[in-house]
């Protein structure tokens, strides 16, 4: 066990120069009622590792070709959407023509997206709405706000009310340089696109922090898991053990309130609800 922990610390030190574990000093009302003693971890500085190799953006691009986020339902309603297929069909596929309504660019490829998960904090505060791509289309003609499109490709059927958006330009950078955020960040893993519950290395996760919280592409956060609740063998008090470091994630696509991140290290199986924190010198 000691050798495993030592190996993990060395690996994580290569991602972040310093890791500071933070826990709240406040006890909850439930903890007071249950006579819980909460232990606080000490600040721990990990050794400097060798320079971290840049992360190829292709890992992120493959994901971002299929996923994107809009801020809220109001923003979603403002986007162009499919109103009908040829001959009033409700479902279309590759090679079919269809009609959309709204502001659609005349040039360049268009993504056809479907509303997926509505992201929110663990307390229920809305953070954004995920869209998943179902196909690609091109502009044929326009008359007023009605646009005729041809479906170039699709891996799911295109339906009425699907969203039409220009495809994101993902060629801005070929690599990401992992680095620590400049400000203190504390958040949670709130989802795993695709619905997987248990999370391992090189999987994509969604965080409940974004650009408005200071996150940028390349920022690395430590993942902490909640310590166990045990009985003190002498006093029989409930004792909350400190959080333990379980991995590291790197942000590659932050939005206003949420971010997509790649799991870079995982000494344990990570889960939705795990804490993510930065370290600030």
Q: Rounded to an integer, what is the distance from CA 186 to the centroid of its chain? A: 14
Q: What DSSP assignment string belongs to 90-155?
A: SEE-TT-EEEEES---SSS-EEEEEEEEEEE-TT--EEEEEEEEEEEEEEEEEETTEEEEEEEEES
pLDDT at 37: 46
Q: Which domains does the chain have, with CATH numbers?
A: 13-56+173-277 (2.40.10.410), 66-166 (2.40.10)
pLDDT (mean) for 12-21? 40
- 237 vs 36: CA distance, rounded Å: 6
Tell me if 190 sits within 8 A of 208, measured CB to CB: yes
| Percent of the chain residues topping a pLDDT of 90 | 54
Q: Are 189 and 223 in contact (CB under 8 A)?
A: yes
Determine which helix (DSSP H) or strand (DSSP E) holds 8, and give its type and residue range. helix 2-13
120 touches 126 (CB < 8 A) = yes
pTM: 0.75
Mean pLDDT of the chain: 81
pLDDT at 22 over 80: no
Assess contact for 207 and 188: CB atoms under 8 A.
yes
Angle CA 207–260–138, to nearest 5: 140
Calpha distance 19→91 (Å, rounded): 51
53 confidence band (pLDDT: 50, 70, 90)? low
Q: Return the exposure string of 15-36: e unless at least 16 CB atoms fall within 10 Å of the residue's CB, then b.
A: bbbebbbbbeeeeeeeeeeeee
Q: Which pLDDT score is estimated for 252?
A: 93
**Which residues lie below 8 Å from residue 228, measured CB to CB, with a gap of 6+?**
241
């Amino acid at each position: 066990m000691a050798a495993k922990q030592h190996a993990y610390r060395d690996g994580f030190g290569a991602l972040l120069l310093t890791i500071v574990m933070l826990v709240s000093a406040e006890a909850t009302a439930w903890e007071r009622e249950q006579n819980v003693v909460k232990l606080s971890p000490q600040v721990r500085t990990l050794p400097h590792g060798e320079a971290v190799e840049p992360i190829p953006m292709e890992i992120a691009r493959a994901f971002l070709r299929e996923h994107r986020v809009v801020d809220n339902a109001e923003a979603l309603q403002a986007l162009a959407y499919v109103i009908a297929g040829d001959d009033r069909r409700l479902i279309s596929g590759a090679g079919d023509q269809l009609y959309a309504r709204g502001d659609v660019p005349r040039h360049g490829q268009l993504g056809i997206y479907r509303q997926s998960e509505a992201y929110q904090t663990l307390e229920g505060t809305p953070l954004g709405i995920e869209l998943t791509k179902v196909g690609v289309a091109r502009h044929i003609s326009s008359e007023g706000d009605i646009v005729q499109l041809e479906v170039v490709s699709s891996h799911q059927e295109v339906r009425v009310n699907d969203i039409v958006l220009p495809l994101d330009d993902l060629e801005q950078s070929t690599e990401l340089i992992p680095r620590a955020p400049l400000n203190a960040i504390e958040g949670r893993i709130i989802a795993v696109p695709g619905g997987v519950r248990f999370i391992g290395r090189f999987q994509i996760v969604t965080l409940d922090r974004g650009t408005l919280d200071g996150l940028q592409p390349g920022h690395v956060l430590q993942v902490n898991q909640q310590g166990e609740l045990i009985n003190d063998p002498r006093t029989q008090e409930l004792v909350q053990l400190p959080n333990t470091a379980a991995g590291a994630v790197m942000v590659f696509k932050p939005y206003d309130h949420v971010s997509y991140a790649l799991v870079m290290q995982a000494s344990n199986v990570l889960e939705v609800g795990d804490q993510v924190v930065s370290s600030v010198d």
